[in-house]
Chains A and B, each alone.
Chain A
Amino acid sequence: MEGMGIPDRGASPLVRDSGSGDDRADLESLLAHVARGDQAAFEVVYDRMAGPVFGLICKVVRDPAQSEEVAQEVLLEVWRSASRFDPSRGSATTWIMMIAHRRAVDRVRSATAETLRNERSAAAAMPAVPDEVAETVETNLDRERVRRCLDALTDTQRESITLAYYGGYTYREVSGLLNVALGTIKTRIRDGLIRMRDCMGVTW
């Protein structure tokens, strides 16, 4: 990494969309290096993002072996399509985590994953538990902030968002699971996210 002038901070930043923090600039410029085929830069991106990518996929997919497989696909996709990252549409962290979430969701929605579905609804309702996480002061604070903002939602908003996001259910499926009208679920997810956005101080 010498000569690139990009420090490896180790710990993963949370959401930096709201500010022009150093972490954000780092990951973005790293991606620009990756887009030009810089494997050393990709290794730094890996060290920074593999934990969040793997953790999110585990949360949605549940099965560790399948999660690992999806995580590998996602991280390779980051390498392949780094040139497609458009900083005007969101932070690098958001771009990577969106790829991870979509792939995870695609996996659980595919027919072969049918057996996993029964286990998902119960698991999704649980708050994010840092089972085996490398805890740092920074990630603890970030995690705490997200949890606080999640707790600030109404029970029904929180339930709808966690089922959709961590459970990988469509809002139609959430509506069926909770036996609540489709329009109501749609509104709960949107209102809940807006409330979280304001609580977390995300401005984009």
Chain B
Amino acid sequence: MKLLSHDLHTLSGAYAVDALDPAEREKFERHMNRCQECSHEVRGLQATATGLAMSAAQVPPPELKRRVLTAAARTRQLPPVSEHRAVVQRRRPQWMPRLAVAVGAAGMAVVIALGITLARTQNELDSARAQQHALAAVLNSPGATMLSARTTLGGSATIVVSRQLREVIFTSEGLPALPGKKVYQLWLMAPHHIVSAGLLPQPANGRMPPVLASGLLAGDKIGVTVEPAGGTAQPTTSPIVVIPTAS
């Protein structure tokens, strides 16, 4: 559908309440970048929508707080966007060829790029680029190794381990979307101690954006289980895949 500039402008309301489909949203964002009047209007309407949001407040489940704070303590933060852009521009040509040498033609580059292609808005794109940067750091670290294994639900899981950074990238291909409210949960498994590394994104068409987990210790295995919505503190089902990080 061909949209004239005037038509685009009147999408400001639908944009502010996230009521555009991805193609239109992208088109509107491009337009807004050039149209100061539009971006001013959108900000006012987004602030208005915040009123609708705040009026729906509810008391959250008490256990949510501990889960969020624990997850935060384990989660690496994104660097500010301006610095990061410059770094990515400079680094990209360097790490792409090195990646090919380090981990072979196993499609990891495609996986990393997937994070970018799944991004739909500028914010998501910024976030995806920053994540790409963090992933590149793991891939670039000396001695980074890649390991793959089949899962019991079909498809394969792949990890890239950096012992130096104590980080691991997890991704999968061909995992089925889970029925009902189940989620995939990632674990760092030591012989007598298992810690959650967070919930995995739902696979879309068998693909899953890569996930970065920190705090890896020597001898940890990486495991994935299927858990009820929101995840659990410890695994409650048998892992669908376990990959040792040391050979």
Nearest-neighbor residue (CB-CB) of A99 within chain B: B123
How many residue-residue contacts, CB under 8 A, span A and B? 246
- Kindly state the separation between the CA atoms of A75 and B48 in the bound complex, as whole angstroms: 21
Interface string of B40-52 (1 = CB under 8 A from A): 1001111111111
A37 pairs with B65, CB closer than 8 A? no
Confirm or deny: B233 has a beta carbon within 8 angstroms of a beta carbon on chain A. Answer: no
Contacts of B77 in A (CB 8 A): 35, 37, 79-83
B14 pairs with A139, CB closer than 8 A? no
Contacts of B126 in A (CB 8 A): 84
Instruction: Name B52's contact: one of A73, A93, A139, A166 (CB within 8 Å).
Output: A166
B46 pairs with A51, CB closer than 8 A? no
B47 pairs with A15, CB closer than 8 A? yes
- Given A39-B72, A69-B183, A72-B64, A102:B18 Cβ within 8 A: yes
A14 pairs with B228, CB closer than 8 A? no
Apart from A110-B204, A146-B54, A170-B19, list 20 A-B contacts with CB within 8 A: A43-B69, A50-B65, A52-B53, A55-B56, A65-B230, A72-B64, A76-B71, A80-B78, A80-B127, A82-B77, A83-B79, A84-B81, A93-B54, A97-B53, A98-B46, A131-B58, A170-B20, A186-B10, A186-B14, A196-B48
Contacts of B21 in A (CB 8 A): 170, 172
- Kindly state the separation between the CA atoms of A187 and B19 in the bound complex, as whole angstroms: 13
Contacts of B11 in A (CB 8 A): 186, 190
Nearest-neighbor residue (CB-CB) of A172 within chain B: B21
- Kindly state the separation between the CA atoms of A171 and B126 in the bound complex, as whole angstroms: 26
State how many angstroms separate the Cβ of A73 from the closest Cβ of chain B: 8
Interface residue total, chain A, C-beta cutoff 8 A: 91
Contacts of B64 in A (CB 8 A): 50, 54, 68, 71-72, 75
- Kindly state the separation between the CA atoms of A195 and B49 in the bound complex, as whole angstroms: 12
Contacts of A54 in B (CB 8 A): 57-61, 64
Interface residue total, chain B, C-beta cutoff 8 A: 62
- Kindly state the separation between the CA atoms of A39 and B129 in the bound complex, as whole angstroms: 24
A193 pairs with B13, CB closer than 8 A? yes
**Chain A binding surface, main DSSP class:** helix
Interface string of A12-54 (1 = CB under 8 A from B): 1011011000000000000000010101001100100011111
Contacts of A56 in B (CB 8 A): 53-54, 56-57
Instruction: Name A101's contact: one of B43, B47, B49, B80 (CB within 8 Å).
Output: B49
Contacts of B18 in A (CB 8 A): 101-102, 105, 164-165, 168
Confirm or deny: B73 has a beta carbon within 8 angstroms of a beta carbon on chain A. Answer: yes
Instruction: Name B69's contact: one of A39, A112, A191 (CB within 8 Å).
Output: A39
Contacts of A84 in B (CB 8 A): 78, 80-81, 123, 126-127, 130
- Kindly state the separation between the CA atoms of A164 and B98 in the bound complex, as whole angstroms: 47
Contacts of A52 in B (CB 8 A): 53-54, 56-57
- Kindly state the separation between the CA atoms of A72 and B65 in the bound complex, as whole angstroms: 9
Confirm or deny: B5 has a beta carbon within 8 angstroms of a beta carbon on chain A. Answer: no
Nearest-neighbor residue (CB-CB) of B181 within chain A: A65
A81 pairs with B78, CB closer than 8 A? yes
Contacts of B178 in A (CB 8 A): 112
A63 pairs with B181, CB closer than 8 A? yes
Nearest-neighbor residue (CB-CB) of B121 within chain A: A102
Confirm or deny: B195 has a beta carbon within 8 angstroms of a beta carbon on chain A. Answer: no
A128 pairs with B13, CB closer than 8 A? no
B75 pairs with A79, CB closer than 8 A? yes
For window 1-42 of B, CB contacts with A under 8 Å fall at: 10-14, 16-21, 40
A169 pairs with B54, CB closer than 8 A? no
